């Protein structure tokens, strides 16, 4: 833990103004390299014989570079992660009553994709240390109607993919065989799992390049990775109206300007993650011993990207006291903290109405105890120290 002298020194600095948001609006950093790549792509498109499309270079180059980065056979660029998740669920051709198990502690996107494809959401519990979908709970909730296991790589760290895949194999669907694992890696671009990158395991993985994420393609964008040729063909086709597979489709393409910038961001991604990890470890040391706060847990099989620095407050600080801590950090120090996430059925009525009677009590408890404290690759060591000192100070005064 930070020494008393260091805490006092750190707290002498003025509060952050503007504040450090809990999830800063730019997840990585941008400089002239991205600007030049974008301008070059626009210049190239201003040739009337070339323009912006269709799937023009450097889109395929970006896809190949991303697939190589993840070690996957294919990568298909899309305009945002949301449509990628929709494609994943539509690929399953769900029939009424078909079930998809998705963690309740989740952003709204993945469960909404289940709903949009006509499936029945089944809420899975999480492991309270990792915040990842719990394979034992999935095992207990599989029925003959289960069509997919749909984990999210929560807050920047890999879900336990091998265990989830194994559960899916052990309970094959009567008609479709082993239950596929499809994952939402919107927050976890660049994370690692058992010597591989997130995006290698499971039937398909969906990434986001939204402005807040680990890397961004001009604020919006996404990628689907898969080793499966049919999935690749399906996604590539339905992102452009679906003619090749004679399926329903719409337009979900990425522009070549985005892809040009994506190539630059991808080259920087590991350095962004390295910076996030360094700050997270330093913060862990500075906060070690602060009894009311449970620090992030990183299993040895994972390389966490620390998209969010996700802590819990001790059980007796759940709810109102946690909320007071968040409010105090913001008001007194300009430090953003966020609850990512409460069970999605508590925040979106459409999801609650769709899943009557389904409760996941552990996830509800975690939703009252979670606190994700601002972290960003461009944060300085001094800023990180101020954040740790502020948290220690606020916690002590709330005791």
Ligand X SMILES: *Cc1c(COP(=O)(O)O)cnc(C)c1O
Contact set with ligand X (CB under 6 A): 80-82, 107, 109, 152, 184, 186-187, 208, 210, 222
* CA-based nearest residue to 207, from 347, 288, 88, 338: 88
At residue 75, the 3 state secondary structure works out as strand
Task: Report the run of H or E that residue 187 belongs to, with start and end.
Answer: none
Q: How far is the CB of 295 from ligand X (least distance, A)?
A: 22
For ligand X, which is the closer residue by CB, 106 or 120? 106
What backbone torsions phi and psi does residue 358 show, to the nearest 5 degrees? -90, 120
| 181 contacts: CB under 8 Å, gap ≥ 6 | 148, 149, 150, 151, 161, 164, 165, 168, 201, 202, 203
For ligand X, which is the closer residue by CB, 208 or 226? 208
Q: How far is the CB of 145 from ligand X (least distance, A)?
A: 24
What backbone torsions phi and psi does residue 252 show, to the nearest 5 degrees? -130, 35
Q: How far is the CB of 260 from ligand X (least distance, A)?
A: 18
Q: How far is the CB of 223 from ligand X (least distance, A)?
A: 10
For ligand X, which is the closer residue by CB, 20 or 131? 131
End-to-end CA distance of the chain: 18
8 Å CB contact between 90 and 112:
no
* CA-based nearest residue to 307, from 340, 330, 334, 348: 340
Q: How far is the CB of 104 from ligand X (least distance, A)?
A: 13
For ligand X, which is the closer residue by CB, 16 or 107? 107
Q: Which residues pair with 309 in a beta bridge?
A: 373
| Structure tokens that stand for 77 in this block | 């660029």
- What does each C-alpha distance from 40 to 36, 47, 257, 263 come to in angstroms? 6, 12, 8, 13
For ligand X, which is the closer residue by CB, 213 or 321? 213
| 367 contacts: CB under 8 Å, gap ≥ 6 | 105, 339, 341, 342, 343, 346
On the CB side of 179, how many CA atoms lie within 13 Å of its CA?
32
Q: How far is the CB of 64 from ligand X (least distance, A)?
A: 21
**What Rg do the C-alpha atoms of the chain give, in angstroms?**
21
Q: How far is the CB of 109 from ligand X (least distance, A)?
A: 3
For ligand X, which is the closer residue by CB, 15 or 348? 348
Q: How far is the CB of 144 from ligand X (least distance, A)?
A: 28
Q: How far is the CB of 32 from ligand X (least distance, A)?
A: 25
8 Å CB contact between 110 and 85:
yes
For ligand X, which is the closer residue by CB, 141 or 210? 210
For ligand X, which is the closer residue by CB, 125 or 184? 184
CA distance 280 to 383: 12
For ligand X, which is the closer residue by CB, 60 or 219? 219
């Amino acid at each position: 833990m930070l020494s008393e002298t260091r805490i006092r020194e750190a707290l002498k600095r003025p509060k952050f103004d503007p504040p450090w948001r809990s999830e800063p609006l730019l997840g990585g950093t941008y400089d002239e390299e991205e600007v030049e790549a974008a301008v070059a792509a626009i210049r190239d498109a201003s040739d009337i014989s070339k323009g912006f499309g269709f799937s023009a270079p450097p889109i395929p180059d970006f896809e190949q570079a991303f697939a190589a980065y993840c070690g996957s056979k294919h990568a298909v660029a899309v305009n945002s992660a949301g449509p990628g998740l929709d494609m994943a669920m539509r690929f399953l051709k769900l029939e009424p009553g078909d079930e998809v198990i998705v963690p309740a502690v989740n952003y709204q996107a993945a469960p909404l994709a289940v709903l949009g494809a006509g499936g029945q959401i089944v809420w899975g519990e999480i492991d309270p240390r990792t915040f990842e979908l719990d394979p034992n709970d999935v095992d207990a909730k599989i029925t003959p109607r289960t069509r997919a296991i749909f984990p999210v790589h929560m807050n920047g760290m890999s879900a336990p993919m091998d265990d989830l895949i194994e559960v899916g194999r052990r309970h094959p669907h009567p008609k479709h065989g082993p239950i596929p694992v499809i994952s939402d890696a919107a927050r976890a671009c660049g994370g690692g799992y058992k010597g591989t990158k997130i995006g290698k395991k499971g039937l398909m993985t969906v990434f986001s390049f939204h402005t807040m994420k680990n890397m961004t393609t001009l604020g919006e964008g996404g990628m689907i990775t898969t080793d499966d040729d049919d999935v690749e063909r399906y996604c590539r086709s339905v992102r452009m109206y679906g003619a090749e597979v004679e399926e329903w489709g719409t337009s979900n393409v990425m522009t070549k300007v985005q892809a040009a910038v994506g190539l630059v961001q991808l080259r920087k991604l590991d350095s962004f993650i390295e910076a996030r990890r360094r700050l997270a470890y330093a913060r862990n040391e500075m906060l070690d011993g602060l009894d009311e706060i449970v620090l992030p847990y990183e299993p040895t099989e994972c390389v966490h990207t620390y998209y969010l620095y996700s802590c819990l407050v001790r059980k007796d600080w759940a709810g109102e006291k946690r909320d007071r801590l968040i409010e105090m950090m913001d008001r007194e120090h300009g430090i953003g903290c966020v609850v990512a996430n409460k069970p999605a059925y508590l925040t979106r009525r459409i999801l609650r109405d769709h899943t009557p009677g389904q409760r996941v009590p552990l996830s509800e408890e975690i939703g009252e105890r979670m606190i994700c404290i601002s972290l960003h690759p461009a944060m300085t060591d001094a800023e990180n120290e101020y954040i740790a000192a502020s948290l220690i100070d606020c916690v002590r005064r709330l005791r």
